[in-house]
Amino acid sequence: MNSDNQKIIFLDRDGTIIFEPGDFQVDSIAKVQLVPEVISSLSRLIDHGYILVMVTNQDGLGSNSFPETQFTEAHEYVLELFRSQGIEFKDIFICPHFETDNCDCRKPATGLITEFLVQNNIDPQRSYVIGDRDTDMEFSKRLKLQGIKIDPYAKQPWSSIVDEILSVDRKAKVVRQTNETEISVEVNLAVSAPVSISTGMVFLIICLNNWRNTPIPQSSLNVMAIWVSMNIIPLKMWPYLLGKHLVWH
């Protein structure tokens, strides 16, 4: 078993990396047509440490209407196209059943990849299911992974998906909470906007000299009341603050 957290992309085939023909069977090389930008996009994912796994339903594979020899010829042609560009699939899972067969391996069922899930430690925050059907999105829910639905006919369908995935790798958020405060720091290296820092409140400097002899201005009390109403200053701190000289910055 691989103990390292792996970033896995579970990919559908027909309608996702190649176009799906009208008869729903890619049973000849002549029917193979790559979805635009899929080669460069999968290469980017691999360069960023993602592992590709193909999971595809092929209705009636091996039947008289869909001979395995015809499927294999076209399928191997597709895989060789990707290999020639340095794109390899770690595993390929194919369900040959019809929906009416009620098998446990046809998507959205997850039986096809049960052993893979046992043998590999998947990073759930950085792994995805990409496909063109609702069954792919249901498959992602059952795996408890984020699903991304692709429209192969959309403009630049693959580059936008990869940009979305890689932007997550360039974001981080840390939250620290105490009884009085909550500090949240979020970094997003995927955008070029100027740095923005917001504290949500004005800082106070409490003077230690003569702090009990100077009255607090009414304007200061008004602002403090607003802070208390927003739960920025807990009520238990009122006696402490009212007895001190506050300098506003």
82-110 exposure pattern, b = at least 16 Cβ within 10 A, e = fewer? beeeebebebebebbbeeeeeeebbbbbe
- The dihedrals phi and psi of 32, each to the nearest 5 degrees, come to -80, 120
Determine the pLDDT at residue 246.
46
Q: Look up 134 and say whether it is catalytic.
A: no
Domains of the chain in sequence order: 2-172 (3.40.50.1000), 204-248 (no CATH)
Strands (E), the chain: 2-11, 50-57, 91-95, 120-122, 128-131, 146-149, 171-177, 182-188, 204-206, 246-248
Residue carrying structure tokens 């998906």: 161
**Mean pLDDT confidence for 144-165:** 96
Q: Which of 12, 27, 132, 136 is catalytic?
A: 12
The pLDDT tens digits of the residues spanning 96-143 come to 999 999 999 999 999 999 999 999 999 999 999 999 999 999 999 999
Determine the pLDDT at residue 186.
59
Distance between the two ends of the chain, CA-based, in angstroms?
58
Q: What angle do CA 165, 15, 139 make, to 5 degrees?
A: 60
Residue partners of 124: CB distance under 8 A and separation at least 6: 144, 145
Determine the pLDDT at residue 33.
97
Q: CA nearest 126: which of 12, 4, 40, 43?
A: 4
Find residue 223's DSSP bridge partners: none
Statement: residue 207 has pLDDT above 90 = no
Structure tokens at 49: 């440490």
Lowest mean pLDDT among 78-82, 143-147, 166-170, 206-210: 206-210
Determine the pLDDT at residue 165.
96
Lowest mean pLDDT among 57-66, 147-156, 225-234: 225-234
Determine the pLDDT at residue 185.
60
Determine the pLDDT at residue 148.
98
**Local confidence band at 240 (pLDDT 50, 70, 90 cut-offs):** low
Q: Which of 4, 14, 23, 59 is catalytic?
A: 14
Statement: residue 229 has pLDDT above 60 = no
* Exposure on the CB side of residue 141, measured as CA atoms within 13 A: 7
**Mean pLDDT confidence for 42-62:** 97
The per-type count for the chain, helices as H runs and strands as E runs, is 7, 10
Determine the pLDDT at residue 177.
76
**Mean pLDDT confidence for 84-104:** 97
C-alpha span between 59 and 219 (Å, rounded): 74
Statement: residue 76 has pLDDT above 90 = yes
Statement: residue 234 has pLDDT above 80 = no
Determine the pLDDT at residue 114.
96
Determine the pLDDT at residue 178.
74
